[in-house]
């Protein structure tokens, strides 16, 4: 598929092309740009990502210069990826390269009448690129981890009590490029009450177990930043801390600095990426393991001693019901062209018998919203229950994509892809 057919899926990209700042995601193929919220999972977990590719290209007009810049970024990104994974450049044709590229990420761009200057990221389809590079296409991902971003400023900590620049930085982070299966929350409903800054200091497993089960997560990751300003508008120093679990097991810490308040977003975006790298390193070293005490207990265990019969032999304890043992968490992607469609989908999922909890991890009005659903039964049963209520359902590996027939475009004809963060959260 040629580069000219890559379509815009974030509505602000047109403005960014003129302003020359910000970040947007460009996806290959599709029928065109339905706007999507930036806090949704933008890509799946099946991509190699190369960032920071700089291009400076001239053309006959602005569009030709931009297309030339994207094509050059593809080639430079492939060379960088090849060297990182194999130590040399794998030579391929332009047509093959076009088929490997699944998206272009605009990190920063300036578009003139005949010139295009940009810093771009390139996403390569992992399944297609891995055989050419001679590497494994499989990715080991962590169990689902609830991410709790906490901003400390002026001695006050803020998580989901209200929106912060730190939360916005996590919304911009592309979860699918990480080996951590993040559960990223939207900050609506009970989020502010259950997950405030004070909750990060509580160690009680019972309360944490209830919260994590509500959001379909196995454990919690805490990403904290403390901002220090020398004077208003002046230099900012951010101290970042990555922790794991209710006991706040320290994973790592680092500091970053920018010269003015204008660089705050850049500082926080860099901090998110470095904290993610710390979590990924902890996962590869076997440190990032869920606390077994946080595992949800589907049935209450009796506190009395096991009864015995007259011969002193223990009476067998009744086994847990099959429905409790079969409880699993699935990702549901739902087309939400407007707020009414989003509310209807939430109500429909929670009204299905067997659904223990349903938590929204990403809201994208005009696009695809993502929910995590804990259900007593296999995914096929959940699909049948949805279809019986009039939903059009597509099934993937642990993922369902649902929509109301005739309820809007939004990509219902595509195969469902696992949500990156599951995931998303953020």
Specify the pLDDT at position 318: 39
User: Is the distance from CB of 205 to CB of 246 less than 8 angstroms?
Assistant: yes
Mean pLDDT, to the nearest integer, of 418-423? 40
Residue bearing tokens 């391929």: 92
Query: Is the pLDDT assigned to residue 32 strictly greater than 60?
Result: no
Distances (CA, A) of 198 to 185, 207, 270, 275, 336: 17, 13, 26, 21, 33
pLDDT value for 35: 26
Of 239, 244, 249, the residue nearest 274 (C-alpha): 239
Return the top range by mean pLDDT from 12-26, 315-329, 350-364, 371-385: 371-385
* Rounded mean pLDDT, 264-286: 92
Per-residue pLDDT tens over the stretch 54-84 = 999 999 999 999 999 999 999 999 999 888 8
- Check if the beta carbon of residue 218 is closer than 8 Å to that of residue 246: no
What pLDDT, in 10s, does the model give residues 158-173? 999 889 999 999 988 8
Q: Among residues of the chain, what percentage have pLDDT more than 90?
A: 26
Q: CA 108, CA 111: separation in Å to the nearest integer?
A: 10
Q: pLDDT-derived band of residue 140, with 50, 70 and 90 as boundaries?
A: low
Average pLDDT over the chain, rounded to an integer: 76
pLDDT for 332 equals 87
Is residue 180 within 8 Å of 205, Cβ to Cβ?
no
Residue with the bigger pLDDT between 332 and 17: it is 332
pLDDT band with cut points at 50, 70 and 90 for residue 406: low
Overall residue count recorded for the chain in this entry: 426
d(CA 224, CA 30): 38
How far is residue 92's CA from residue 250's CA, in Å, rounded to a whole number? Answer: 44
338-351 pLDDT per residue, tens? 777 887 888 888 88
CA atoms within 13 A on the CB side of 181: 19
The percentage of residues in the chain with a pLDDT greater than 70, rounded to a whole number, is: 74
Confidence band of 296 (pLDDT split at 50, 70, 90): low
pLDDT band at 236 (very low <50, low <70, confident <90, very high): very high
How remote is the C-alpha of 124 from its chain's centroid?
18
- The number of beta carbons lying within 10 Å of the beta carbon of residue 345 is 24
Least Cα distance to 252 among 293, 221, 228 occurs for 221
What angle (nearest 5°) sits at the alpha carbon of residue 48, between those of residues 57 and 371? 115
pTM above 0.75, yes or no: no
| Of 336, 325, 319, the residue nearest 375 (C-alpha) | 325
């Amino acid at each position: 598929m040629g580069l000219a057919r890559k379509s815009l899926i974030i509505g602000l990209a047109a403005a960014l092309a003129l302003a020359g700042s910000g970040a947007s995601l460009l996806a290959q193929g599709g029928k065109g740009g339905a706007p999507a919220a930036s806090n949704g999972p933008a890509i799946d977990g099946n991509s190699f990502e190369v960032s920071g590719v700089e291009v400076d290209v001239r053309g006959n007009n602005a569009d030709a210069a931009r297309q030339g810049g994207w094509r050059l970024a593809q080639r430079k990104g492939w060379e960088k990826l090849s060297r990182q994974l194999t130590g040399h450049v794998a030579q391929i044709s332009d047509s093959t390269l076009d088929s490997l590229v699944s998206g272009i990420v605009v990190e920063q761009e300036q578009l003139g009448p005949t010139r295009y200057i940009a810093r771009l990221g390139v996403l390569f389809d992992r399944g297609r690129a891995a055989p050419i590079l001679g590497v494994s296409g499989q990715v080991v991902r962590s169990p689902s981890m609830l991410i709790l971003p906490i901003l400390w400023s002026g001695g006050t900590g803020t998580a989901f009590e209200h929106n912060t620049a730190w939360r916005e930085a996590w919304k911009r982070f592309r979860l699918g490029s990480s080996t951590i299966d993040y559960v990223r929350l939207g900050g609506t409903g009970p989020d502010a009450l259950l997950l405030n800054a004070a909750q990060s200091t509580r160690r009680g497993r019972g309360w944490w177990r209830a919260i994590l089960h509500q959001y379909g997560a196995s454990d919690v990751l805490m990403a904290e930043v403390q901002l220090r300003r020398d004077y208003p508008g002046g230099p900012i120093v951010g101290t970042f801390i990555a922790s794991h679990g209710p006991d706040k097991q320290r994973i790592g810490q680092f500091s970053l600095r920018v010269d003015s308040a204008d660089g705050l977003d850049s500082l926080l975006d860099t901090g998110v990426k470095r904290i993610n790298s710390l979590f990924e390193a902890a996962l590869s070293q076997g440190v990032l393991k869920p606390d077994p005490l946080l595992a949800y207990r589907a049935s209450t265990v009796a506190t009395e001693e096991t009864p015995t019969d007259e011969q002193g032999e223990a009476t067998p304890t009744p086994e847990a019901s099959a429905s409790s043992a079969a409880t699993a968490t699935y990702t549901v992607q739902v087309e939400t062209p407007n707020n009414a469609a989003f509310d209807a989908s939430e109500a429909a999922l929670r009204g299905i018998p067997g659904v223990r909890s349903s938590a929204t991890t990403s809201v994208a009005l005009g696009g695809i919203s993502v929910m995590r659903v804990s259900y007593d039964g296999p995914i096929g049963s959940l699909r049948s229950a949805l279809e019986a209520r009039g939903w059009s359902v597509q099934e993937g590996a642990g993922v369902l994509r649902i929509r109301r027939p005739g309820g809007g475009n939004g990509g219902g004809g595509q195969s469902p892809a696992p949500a990156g963060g599951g995931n998303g959260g953020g």
